[in-house]
Structure 1
Amino acid sequence: MFMKSLRSLFALLVIPLMLSMGLGLSASAMAADDQTSQQQAATNDADLWRAVKAGDSGYTVAKGIETGVLINVIGNEGKIVRNEYLTPVMGITVVGVFAAFLFFYLVNGPSKLSKGFSGKMVLRWSKADLWIHWVLATSCLALIFTGLNIMLGKHVLQPYVGEGLWAGLIYGSKTIHDWVGPIFIVSWILCVVKWMPMQTFKMYDLKWFLVVGGYINFGPFKGKHPDSGFANAGEKMWFWTLTLFGLFIAASGLMLVLPGLDLPREASMAALLIHSISAIIIIAFTIVHIWMATVLSEGGMECMVSGYCDENWAVQHHNLWYDELKDSNSIVYKD
């Protein structure tokens, strides 16, 4: 009887122990499986995000170019290039070129007419030429100022104006930039087609560069007025710069504002960078052109206001063109 009771007591002690051990082993196995699953999930997530950051394409029901790409690597790299390199270069270009010509003007002064004004005005530009020039100039300046605000405004203006005013400025700049663009393109085409025959480089243009166009008022270059045809070498350089980079500006601008093209992100970013680089170059040459035409050349601005230039100005700055008119007896004087 005692032995029977002892066996019953042993069973009561052993069975719960075995059950506890079994449950413990099961819990450990489940915990191990759960840890393995978590590690596998973490590995899968890491692979997923590594692929996403690398720009790999995934699956989506959306239709279109690159809709399966969550992060575009080229787009991010292009944004870095634009913000960290092109934006500072644009600011340095505007300030640097303007400051350089201001310093030159203060030291050198304007290029005076050696024989003064004659009072005789010679026809140089037709009414059509004047219209093309001023439409192109106005649209170009509008694009420059709005483009500068788009690129530099957040660094130069935004910190000093209210949010409402800044929102209006940036929205207005973008709107004006988009709508003035076609006007610039049309006037640019007319300019290139109409004025290209007069812009071929000649051997005498090299001397123009060597003596800085005769604009130096001191040293060995003083009083040196190089030969020049209808357009001098500086004007020709400006024309071909505008022709080439104006083409880049126009093509890249159309790529950026026409959503119907549905371009890949790489093409859009390339267009944005080309647009910015071309704009920097055109801005630099525009500043030079304005300085040369307004304050550095006495009597030069009158040409693009009335279409006529003083006869002494024509002889001094464009002697070969004036000689051609004189030899062919085709000089037209203003009444």
Structure 2
Amino acid sequence: MQRSIRSALLSAFAALALTGAALAERAAPPVDQVPQAIVPVVAEVEEAAPAESNAERAKTQPGNNAPFWRAVRDWSPQSDTTSAVRGIESTVLIQPFVQYPGSRFATAGEAWRQVRNQWIIPYGSALLGIVVLAIALFHWRKGPIGQEANSGHAIERFTYFERAAHWANAFAFCVLAISGIVMAFGKFFLLPLIGGAAFGWLSYALKTGHNIVGPLFAVSLLIVFFTFIRSNWPRREDITWLRRAGGLFGGKEVPSHRFNAGEKVVFWGGVLLLGSIVVGSGLVLDRLIPSVALLRSDMQVAHMIHAVAAVLMMALFAGHIYIGTIGMRGAYRAMRDGEVDEGWAREHHALWYEDICKGKISARRTERPPSRETVVRG
């Protein structure tokens, strides 16, 4: 029995083996139809063509100036091209990438342009416009400050030297402010009115005057600072003046010494702080600092600092100019003639007037006999 079962299993296994072999032989493709191994085909790379010139590139891709800028980037004194750039940066035609406050990460020249066009020009013009508008609205609503004083008794407020220093500085400031405004903002409000040719000549003339008058402004500013520093030292009464804004929006004016706290803010903030920044950066831009090699990046930073400080200085001095001319009765006469009426001194600088009455301060400091009676009644 067992032998018959074993014989049956062997017969079945043999049959399965023969059947599998037959099927495999039938499914196998002919030898000549066996796929060959996949061999990657590498296209032959043509040898790179020589660099195109800008003119050749313009024929195939108009407007693509890549060859020109590659030549600019790779320029060196040993190349067969020439450059108008001279000095220590003669080999630097495109500046490295930087990021100034308010700019994107770009070449230094482009970053400077972004700061100037996107921040200094729009916000600077807005600040100056707001200041002028605020002064105009104040004058329209309030009018000149103070009363007409004509007591017949004059007090000397400024000496000849003080007035000469002030007017020299004022003249230089006006020239610099007007020329600076035209150079910075003129193309927006003046160019459409007078045309490109006239605006070009005017801008060139103002730029030349700006560079010439700049050193005069620096010298006169230094003289003004040392001339008036003694009368501008902060005092305890200045806190009260600042807290009440000098009585500008109230009734009675807050008593002050020879210069009130508002004038001292102009002196320390405008003359000393902003004036020093404007003068220092201006000397860099004029290349008047000896033995200093200035790079283009130095000039760009100096220009941004100069422009910001100048705009703030003009905004601050605008209020000072307004009060000293049409904003306060009798103020312009003080700087024109050097004298003020006794009533004016009592109204606007009561503590200074009291010191004169007590003999702490002389009512006249010059040798010239007064044109009017210089008597102070106690």
TM bracket (short chain): 0.7 to 0.9
Residue 89 (1) aligns with residue 123 (2): yes
The alpha-carbon deviation at position 112 of structure 1 amounts to: 2.0
Residue 230 (1) aligns with residue 258 (2): yes
Given that residues 150 and 341 in structure 2 are in contact (C-alpha distance below 8 angstroms), is that contact kept between their aligned partners in structure 1? yes
- Secondary structure class of the residue paired with 1:190: helix
State the match for 2:299 in structure 1. 268
Superposition map of 1:207-218 within 5 A: 207-216=240-249
Give the alignment partner of residue 129 of structure 1, picking from 162, 178, 185. Answer: 162
State the distance in 2 between where 1:302 and 1:148 align: 28
State the match for 1:248 in structure 2. 277
Residues 321 and 65 of structure 1: is their aligned pair in 2 closer, same or farther, counting only changes over 3 Å? same
Structure with greater contact order relative to length (CA < 8 Å, sep ≥ 6):
1
State the distance in 2 between where 1:197 and 1:57 align: 59
Residues 70 and 321 of structure 1: is their aligned pair in 2 closer, same or farther, counting only changes over 3 Å? same
State the match for 1:23 in structure 2. none
Superposition map of 1:136-147 within 5 A: 136-147=169-180
Residue 290 (1) aligns with residue 313 (2): no
State the distance in 1 between where 2:74 and 2:235 align: 55
Structure 1 residue runs of 4 or more that deviate by more than 6 Å after TM superposition:
55-58
Give the alignment partner of residue 107 of structure 1, picking from 137, 141, 145. Answer: 141
Given that residues 149 and 341 in structure 2 are in contact (C-alpha distance below 8 angstroms), is that contact kept between their aligned partners in structure 1? no
State the match for 1:25 in structure 2. none
CA RMSD of aligned residues (A): 2.8
The alpha-carbon deviation at position 109 of structure 1 amounts to: 2.2
Deviations 1:210-242 (A, max 9, x none): 2221333xxxx212x212111110110011122
Normalized against structure 1, the TM-score is what?
0.79
Partner letter of residue 273 of structure 2? L
Given that residues 57 and 68 in structure 1 are in contact (C-alpha distance below 8 angstroms), is that contact kept between their aligned partners in structure 2? no
- Secondary structure class of the residue paired with 1:161: helix
Deviations 1:235-285 (A, max 9, x none): 100111221111111111111112774312221111100110011011101
Given that residues 215 and 296 in structure 1 are in contact (C-alpha distance below 8 angstroms), is that contact kept between their aligned partners in structure 2? no
- Secondary structure class of the residue paired with 1:162: helix
State the distance in 2 between where 1:63 and 1:305 align: 50
Q: Which runs of 5+ in 1 are unaligned?
A: 1-27, 42-48
Residue 33 (1) aligns with residue 41 (2): no
Residues 40 and 34 of structure 1: is their aligned pair in 2 closer, same or farther, counting only changes over 3 Å? farther
Rg bigger for which structure? 2
Given that residues 57 and 66 in structure 1 are in contact (C-alpha distance below 8 angstroms), is that contact kept between their aligned partners in structure 2? no
Give the alignment partner of residue 287 of structure 2, picking from 238, 246, 258. Answer: 258
State the match for 1:195 in structure 2. 228
State the match for 2:88 in structure 1. 65
Return the structure number with greater helix share: 1
Give the alignment partner of residue 267 of structure 2, picking from 231, 234, 239. Answer: 239
Residues 75 and 230 of structure 1: is their aligned pair in 2 closer, same or farther, counting only changes over 3 Å? same
State the match for 1:165 in structure 2. 198
- Secondary structure class of the residue paired with 2:44: helix
The alpha-carbon deviation at position 40 of structure 1 amounts to: 11
Residues 266 and 32 of structure 1: is their aligned pair in 2 closer, same or farther, counting only changes over 3 Å? same
Higher alpha-carbon deviation: 164-173 or 65-74: 65-74
State the distance in 2 between where 1:209 and 1:287 align: 19
